[in-house]
Structure 1
């Protein structure tokens, strides 16, 4: 059985021995299945007079995610995107023209990852497919587990995070395994993709189950540091679920992360030492500006905290139950999509709704991307567009 929420992979619980339990008893699952009598009604759209426009520069389609959570990735002057049915595409960033299309011979669960030279995607059977900069297949490697986390290509290494808590480093040119970093499996964890943030070609920062996040060296898979942002609490295994599933964010030398049923916190990127933390719960992660960190909870309340001390600056409840996705802080605005395909712009300073566009009728769970004066947005239906803010 597979249900969808915001177009992303169904939230499930997984035990180390492979037993899977649907999260029908967790708040996440209350909106997961359309047949549920407890489906929440999204709030009506508030009237907004756009203070700026998002003009479409180009638009194309790459194919539907079909319940999985695909993100586009930018490398150099190109955008790389994929679909569940195996369509892998390189798109010219300036024009939207498809440079090449490859047909992966299996259904995909996640992807792509790319550094502009090697582009990879992972099938539902755990096969990693790699393509060169012309769209020709280079290699195929099986990692013996399901993969729901977006792969990263950096420093000549392809980093794949498997659902069994293994991080696998593969040579980007040959697919030869370079290293493995194994995490201990928790008694119960969320069956989702865990976001990874690459910092240059040297390290990645990612969350773990049990309310922890850490930094891993790309070259050898060594753990640089690990820090708890929150701790499990409660009596039952479900109450004690406390995973940092979303991609951490970084601005300057400050890195922030948030856990489900836990806390949000910010600390020093070099050491991982937290400067502050506050009770909060989110699976859409954090976004940062120079002075603020933003996150949205399960009710789609959007909150801004002061980066220096965690003081709440504002909270916007106008998007209640609209199932907003990952956000992007750019310029003076915060951009985030919702389950009905709208993209909302909030003023970073006070949370005021200042603009809105309708990108698509399908959910938008991936964070918008700001690059070269453009804003890139991909829906779960596969529509990807470049917008120019005016």
Structure 2
């Protein structure tokens, strides 16, 4: 489950995976098992999220899969190897493919080439009709969803390698290797593609940066925060969540570190504040929203970081990645509820029960719909009314 993924820690160099007591220590500041989730007060929805269509695509547990939209279709997958292309407006399955192995991440796609990665580190690629076109074993575990853009498939491995593959043939076009921290979270590190030209992503050690999709070159790198504390557990300081962007403002947050916003062209931070999150940020024109590891939700002014509001209504509900759209911030929780929070004051505007399993991935706004997928495998489209 997501709570176990976010607590996983890997020590590189020795090849040992920390578990048990160390895993619990890593999440001591945000251990949802030690706290009772906040009870949900009854509300009257200010607007409705009317269900349009729903399909069960299969469980992703214990992983956290993200669906994606490319063109007029939704691409998604399940842990047991089922890969789907679904019509965005109707929910009708366009095609379904059975990948030969279990999967560790959701798909990447540009609508022409769709790729998934197995638990054994093999990349499988399919064309727009769902026919297999190539596969390649990378010899390393992958927990980050691939990006497909400008004819390149970008894969990020757990040992901090970025690999650019030709989307049509699978041939290697470039490699970029990061120096790995001694101790880091064993999770996916979200990649944010911008204009099919660059990727912005977080790194271990509290840093994030921008890479060129065409050649893997590092364009800039900026620290969000710096490790602090005496033990290696205390000094865990990774930017694991996918950064967010609105206009020229780019925002990121680190685990046991800071939240900050800067300029997308250079990465230079305009401000930063102490904050800890593994679920990332969402932005409107003037504000950035994030939930800390206790599920306290905060809104900051994008221009200077001043606190606009904070809400404890969802404390310890283990909320997932946020989506800011319209006047609301949408986020799911570990019990399958989806909450619409007012961007202006943090009040709960609406709530629905999607299903009973955790919702870790950010909702997606596309084609006038809000798409939500739970770890249990329910993918549904809702129409705000």
User: Which of 310, 316, 336 pairs up with 1:315?
Assistant: 310
Alpha-carbon shift at residue 28 of structure 1 (Å): 5.6
Any conservation in 2 of the 1:5–1:31 contact (CA below 8 Å)? no
> 1:6 & 1:240 partners in 2: Cα distance?
20
Instruction: Let me know the Cα RMSD of the aligned residues.
Output: 1.3
1:338 equivalenced with 2:333 (yes/no)? yes
> 1:108 & 1:259 partners in 2: Cα distance?
27
Structure 1 residues 198 and 105, CA, compared in 2 at 3 Å: closer, same or farther? same
Any conservation in 2 of the 1:181–1:221 contact (CA below 8 Å)? yes
User: Which of 236, 239, 252 pairs up with 1:241?
Assistant: 236
Any conservation in 2 of the 1:6–1:338 contact (CA below 8 Å)? no
**Secondary structure at 2:80 match in 1:** coil
Q: 1:62-96 CA deviation, whole Å, 9 max, x = no partner?
A: 10002001010100000000000000000000100
Alpha-carbon shift at residue 31 of structure 1 (Å): 4.3
The answer for the alignment partner of 2:354 in structure 1 is 359
20-29 vs 236-245, which moves further = 20-29
User: Which of 285, 289, 292 pairs up with 1:290?
Assistant: 285
The answer for the alignment partner of 2:17 in structure 1 is 20
The answer for the alignment partner of 2:99 in structure 1 is 104
> 1:170 & 1:16 partners in 2: Cα distance?
26
Q: 1:257-310 CA deviation, whole Å, 9 max, x = no partner?
A: 000000000000000000000000000000000000000011100000000000
Any conservation in 2 of the 1:327–1:335 contact (CA below 8 Å)? yes
User: Which of 363, 370, 377 pairs up with 1:375?
Assistant: 370
Q: 1:230-267 CA deviation, whole Å, 9 max, x = no partner?
A: 00111111111100000000000110000000000000
The answer for the alignment partner of 1:152 in structure 2 is 147
User: Which of 121, 138, 154 pairs up with 1:143?
Assistant: 138
The answer for the alignment partner of 1:35 in structure 2 is none
The answer for the alignment partner of 2:261 in structure 1 is 266
Tell me, which stretches of 5 or more residues in structure 2 are unaligned?
Answer: none
Alpha-carbon shift at residue 39 of structure 1 (Å): 3.5
User: Which of 8, 12, 30 pairs up with 1:11?
Assistant: 8
> 1:313 & 1:232 partners in 2: Cα distance?
27
Tell me, which stretches of 5 or more residues in structure 1 are unaligned?
Answer: 33-37
The answer for the alignment partner of 1:131 in structure 2 is 126
Any conservation in 2 of the 1:284–1:295 contact (CA below 8 Å)? yes
User: Which of 293, 297, 302 pairs up with 2:297?
Assistant: 302
Q: How many residues are paired up? A: 382
1:219 equivalenced with 2:214 (yes/no)? yes
Any conservation in 1 of the 2:57–2:82 contact (CA below 8 Å)? yes
> 1:142 & 1:247 partners in 2: Cα distance?
25
The answer for the alignment partner of 2:71 in structure 1 is 76
> 2:29 & 2:142 partners in 1: Cα distance?
21
**Secondary structure at 1:346 match in 2:** strand
User: Which of 45, 48, 61 pairs up with 2:56?
Assistant: 61
Give the TM-score normalised by the residue count of structure 1: 0.96
**Secondary structure at 1:300 match in 2:** coil
The answer for the alignment partner of 1:44 in structure 2 is 39
The answer for the alignment partner of 1:113 in structure 2 is 108
Any conservation in 2 of the 1:11–1:28 contact (CA below 8 Å)? no
Structure 1 residues 10 and 61, CA, compared in 2 at 3 Å: closer, same or farther? farther
Q: 1:85-117 CA deviation, whole Å, 9 max, x = no partner?
A: 000000000100000000001000002000000
Any conservation in 1 of the 2:6–2:185 contact (CA below 8 Å)? no
